[in-house]
Structure 1
């Protein structure tokens, strides 16, 4: 008599798949599996599969080229949908891979299901090699404690381009950080990394000069790593501050730069004209050729150069050039946009940052307006979570990726995030952007944010909760204006507001209850830094967040003392209240003096932790109650 399969629950897969259906109960993978794959399965897929299986407790992998006739252990089939053995396996699972780039199917069937023999069948099928790697990433998230649910995942990206642009001012990432980030991008089913750090002098200030051989080799290593995990490595040059558009020598300098990178396995290229003036030319010959400096003349000059470079790329088989215009935000009609729209080769991809440099929201109508303004669908350069501008001074930006409207996938060619100078700390927000770009219709900002914390925590629930508590204290998302587009510390603020309301309107029982709740929140905030330091699986996060973790612990202790002071004032020990408040004030001043890591960001100042929430409450607490009078 067959043993019933265990009940199955839907796993958490991020980005959220377009379709996930449970088809039966869970089954164990056991300690031995048969892995059926052709020799053509690339190393990234093979490595991911073997790592997942090892972590699931599989000790022996028997490799085969065909489906076993009478399997006595679970069988895993991995390959392209076009391969006969994969087609046969998909037929048993009654599944098919969509005819779309990067699409995949992940199907698992237990041995009790119709048409399946033995201990169970798992199929990873990709429409192409990238899709197969995406299937492996979903398989990694589906296996839990050595078991997998019987299910069918049918999935594909909503946007063709999904990734990151290292486009910030300030300290660039190291090559090791870039390599780590590229692997992170692959784990989130991204496909693009754009190299464009503003402080790479050989890409901007000294763009005409060749890279040192050592740097070229390092960029080549990054490009090769990216290629192995199906990430398109794009190199960007920023000649705008000094270029002479009419000088053939400058066009030749760009060609030389790109050729040197092409010899090091870089195949995609980008020319940036952001953050430059078009009220002056850099050479007299530009005025002779294009006329007086101005918006229209600048656009015509840029389009001419870009069209030449695009033609070069087309001849060499390297696809479309990407550019960011001088007017890279808003959709207001101007002579610059009109001239660029008219003159620019339609193959050139145009980037756009939204309705502002750092927009509070981006809607479908905004993107439609951008298409009209630039004469093509744009590639969104989303300036979140970048923290290289004055309003972000002293902040880690750890709020979820939000306020981007479902349906943008129909109006954009894709989205890339401009991250913080802190690579690992950027991941919670970037994970949200990548999930939105993959499936904007089903994107859940809060669930994805929690999943990003869980990844940093290596799946440990205590560390996950500590991270979310810390993230809440770094929740504010600034814009270039005075109003942030995400509030600071919403979870903590709700508890503090409950205390304020209870003191203003509630009875003694409600006051005591809200203070107990706030005390628990303060305890969790005080404990979070130590839990994070001990438990986060990416050590880079702890190093990047060091001053914020230190300040958080001090602010939390100040909050604990403020709560104790209020409790003392409400109780029979009112004389102790002032001592608690004085110590809270001392710790708050100590916390407020902690500086960000020198040189880590463009603007360096005191770190901010739940500012406007924690500091305000610690300051106000002594005035919220006047203790009992002695008789």
Structure 2
């Protein structure tokens, strides 16, 4: 990841994973000598390629009146400095908004001033050429709270403060958003952009998409810009390439072109690039896309043309997928959708065999979901083409729940609904065929 950052222009890396228990949950436990040696090697490599390595500190249930707690953090800071690390970040995000120890209330008027005291103490141990970043407990919102006012009045000017925008994962970030909180904190805030991160309740969302919703003047009004990668390194790098493109030329940034370029350089062939782009279009649920448009993938015109060619979907099947875009005004034609179903199988085949083994592993759960929906759609078309075969309809209804057991999000209920409509149509065709003098409809 550090080498990738160097190639695309990022120049700082923060080590602060919450899934490292010694970083956060068990922060009072020391790292082993083996781990410190690894940190040292990583920091040296980052320095060699022009990337600043920033070592993250955190502290659950920190006692501001217990000298041993402060000493533990200072000890980690000293150990890191001994390995050549010069910059640090104190991460107090996603913590309770009140003191964890009653003794602290007797010394500090509020949590903000206690946290500012802690930051100011740690900054004293910083070398002159080092940077210190702080993620406060309140790191998103309107930026005009009592907590932030107190923090701004008490923090040393050497501390730079992270901010994610109006939301934890902000669909948009504007200069006005930053201006308000920067005024309150008395310094230019550093953007901590929570994209393409996909942890916790977002773990089933792919987040392979371009950065959007960022005003072009942000690099001018922010104290810095950090992007939070997800745990899946190869898929994160596709999205991060678009962030790098935005930061290189925010006024000329084109998300569509940047994403197309990112996919192309992340894959080994045009066939691989087409498969990744196809999957990304269907797995488009992420924080920068509104909930009302997550189903706006490119397959709807073909689906609408398919049903238009058959006189409309069967009324017995009930309403269409909630949240789908408006019906397309397209000529009736079954062929485009039938070709797309074949393409889905080919794209899944390609994705299962990507040359980059990390990207292949990262995409595997979503690839499996895509392959599953391709089977469902193929079986559904087969049932529709053979209305006299009741077992063909059963295959469809048996396959749907098997695919749905994979919770990784690909196109929502698009193919589930389409397949059930095919089953309804096949049943009605079968019933008509059994009536005297009623021909079975020929397939396109």
Q: Flag whether TM exceeds 0.5 (same fold).
A: yes
The answer to whether 1:413 aligns with 2:210 is no
Corresponding residue number in structure 1 for 2:359: 541
1:131-150 equivalences under 5 Å are none
Matched residue SS, 2:41: helix
The answer to whether 1:325 aligns with 2:136 is yes
Corresponding residue number in structure 2 for 1:499: 306
Contact map agreement 2:354 2:360 (CA 8 A) in 1: no
The answer to whether 1:621 aligns with 2:442 is no
1:415-494 equivalences under 5 Å are 415-458=225-268, 460-478=269-287, 484=291, 487-488=294-295, 490-494=297-301
Deviation per residue, 1:570-610 (Å, 9 max, x gap): xxx6435x65543333322221123xxxxxxxxxxx32321
Corresponding residue number in structure 2 for 1:309: 122
Change (3 A) 1:386 1:485: farther
Q: Which structure has the highest strand share of the two?
A: 1
Matched residue SS, 1:381: strand
The answer to whether 1:585 aligns with 2:414 is no
TM-score (norm: length of structure 2): 0.86
Q: 1:361 aligns with which of 172, 183, 187?
A: 172
Runs of at least 5 residues in structure 2 that lack an aligned partner in the other structure: 313-326, 438-444
Q: Which structure has the highest helix share of the two?
A: 2
Q: 2:34 aligns with which of 214, 218, 224?
A: 214
Matched residue SS, 1:467: helix
Contact map agreement 2:99 2:111 (CA 8 A) in 1: no
Change (3 A) 1:435 1:205: same
Corresponding residue number in structure 2 for 1:561: 379
Shift of 1:260: 0.6
Change (3 A) 1:457 1:246: same
Shift of 1:500: 4.3
Corresponding residue number in structure 2 for 1:265: 84
Matched residue SS, 2:13: strand
Contact map agreement 2:144 2:181 (CA 8 A) in 1: no
The answer to whether 1:198 aligns with 2:18 is yes
Q: C-alpha separation between the residues in 2 aligned to 1:232 and 1:614?
A: 46
Deviation per residue, 1:100-124 (Å, 9 max, x gap): xxxxxxxxxxxxxxxxxxxxxxxxx
Corresponding residue number in structure 2 for 1:224: 44
The answer to whether 1:403 aligns with 2:213 is yes
Q: 2:331 aligns with which of 498, 507, 510?
A: 510
Q: C-alpha separation between the residues in 2 aligned to 1:523 and 1:348?
A: 56
Shift of 1:470: 1.6
Change (3 A) 1:623 1:449: same
Contact map agreement 2:196 2:228 (CA 8 A) in 1: yes
Matched residue SS, 1:233: strand
Change (3 A) 1:580 1:188: farther
Shift of 1:486: 5.7
Q: C-alpha separation between the residues in 1 aligned to 2:424 and 2:118?
A: 65
1:180-199 equivalences under 5 Å are 181-199=1-19
Q: C-alpha separation between the residues in 2 aligned to 1:486 and 1:414?
A: 31
Contact map agreement 1:349 1:379 (CA 8 A) in 2: yes
Change (3 A) 1:386 1:620: farther
Contact map agreement 1:360 1:484 (CA 8 A) in 2: no
Provide the alpha-carbon RMSD of the alignment.
2.5
Q: C-alpha separation between the residues in 2 aligned to 1:425 and 1:542?
A: 9
Matched residue SS, 1:442: coil
Deviation per residue, 1:460-515 (Å, 9 max, x gap): 11111111112122211148xx9538624612234324434555679xx933x2x2
Contact map agreement 1:272 1:325 (CA 8 A) in 2: yes
Shift of 1:308: 2.2
Provide the aligned length of Structure 1 versus Structure 2.
Answer: 416
Q: C-alpha separation between the residues in 1 aligned to 2:29 and 2:354?
A: 45
The answer to whether 1:386 aligns with 2:197 is yes
Shift of 1:435: 1.8
Q: 1:290 aligns with which of 105, 108, 116?
A: 108
Shift of 1:287: 2.0
Change (3 A) 1:516 1:358: same
Q: C-alpha separation between the residues in 2 aligned to 1:254 and 1:475?
A: 41
Contact map agreement 1:559 1:618 (CA 8 A) in 2: yes
Matched residue SS, 1:540: helix
Change (3 A) 1:222 1:493: farther
Corresponding residue number in structure 2 for 1:256: 75
Shift of 1:565: 4.4
Change (3 A) 1:516 1:580: farther
Q: C-alpha separation between the residues in 1 aligned to 2:359 and 2:396?
A: 28
Contact map agreement 1:478 1:485 (CA 8 A) in 2: no
Q: C-alpha separation between the residues in 1 aligned to 2:211 and 2:190?
A: 17
Q: C-alpha separation between the residues in 1 aligned to 2:175 and 2:352?
A: 41
TM-score (norm: length of structure 1): 0.62
Change (3 A) 1:324 1:500: farther
